[in-house]
Amino acid sequence: MTRSRWPTSGIVTLAALDVRLRPDHASEMGSQLLMGEVVRVIRRASEGRWLLVDNVADGYRGWVRAWGVLLAGPRQVAVWRRRALARVTALWVEVREGPGRGPLISPLFWGARVIGGRAQGRFRRVELPDGTRGWAESRALATGRAAAPDLMSRVRGLLGVPYLWGGRTPMGMDCSGFVQMLLAEQGQQLPRDAGDQEQCCRPLGPGRRPKPGDLAFFGPPGVPAQHVGMMIGTDLYAHARGRVRVNSLDPANQLYDRELSAQLRGVRRPGRRPVGGR
């Protein structure tokens, strides 16, 4: 296949695909892609073993191993988008060869998308982007216009998830991945990094009190925001720092984080058109 005929799109076929800054496993991981996400393929390296891609959802660019991407043309991507309406709402679910039995085909993490099929008891037939079929628990999947879980319930379910630089799964998350995934489930798309997230949110006006879903940004002046958390009350915020936890902006509250609060840049409300990541 000549370079001019390479497919310019792809669909992620692994439960989690690491996105690195350079085409090297020793390079820093900047993010992760989830099963079913669509990417734009920019170029190849190392005899095609690595792909430079953009995540279509948030514009984040980095290098991934080619073994985790199904190269696809526009028509194949359009078919996938039309059919892959089952989204994973559990933190983790297994896809097995049979309904509740047989070899493990793949795990699926919260936020992944697959094609949903017929149900059998507590299980549902699913199809992965590469055409592999298996069975997953029906209660772990939502289809079509099913309402998103309550934001506070989701936050409570993620408490204790360990911090992982670049992580976007319940196995490990960083601060911006945590808030990006939370708001995506609620229908609000954000860029990948905290600095870009700050730019696409608007400051609260005078006298306006924070509400759940607003974002608190932290970091020294003169540089992009280096940390972000999600407000879950007037002064409480959830964030990934060491692990997913809850802290307070109120110095009188025992959950007050003095070190972090000293770098508070302000609370902003998502709503402006997102900008792409690097």
pLDDT given at position 6:
67
> How many domains, the chain?
3
Contact at 8 Å (CB) between 111 and 184?
yes
Residue that finishes a domain, picked among 27, 54, 79: 79
Q: Measured between alpha carbons, how far is 229 from 240 in angstroms, rounded to an integer?
A: 7
Residues 69 and 32 in one domain: yes
pLDDT given at position 207:
82
pLDDT given at position 272:
56
pLDDT given at position 32:
98
- Which domain covers residue 9, as residue numbers? 3-79
pLDDT given at position 144:
76
Residues for the chain: how many in total? 278
Residues 136 and 181 in one domain: no
Q: Per the domain annotation, does 74 fall within a domain?
A: yes
For residue 170, give both structure tokens: 């319940």
pLDDT given at position 27:
98
Contact at 8 Å (CB) between 135 and 96?
yes
Residues 60 and 132 in one domain: no
With 0-12 / 13-18 / 19 or more C-beta atoms within 10 angstroms meaning exposed / middle / buried, residue 40 is middle
* Category of 131 on φ-ψ map: left (φ > 0), alpha (ψ -120 to 50) or beta: left
pLDDT given at position 37:
98
Q: What is the mean pLDDT of each run of 10 residues along the chain (278 residues)?
A: 67 98 98 98 95 97 98 96 97 98 98 97 98 98 85 96 98 98 95 97 89 96 96 96 98 97 96 50
Q: Per the domain annotation, does 29 fall within a domain?
A: yes
pLDDT given at position 149:
86
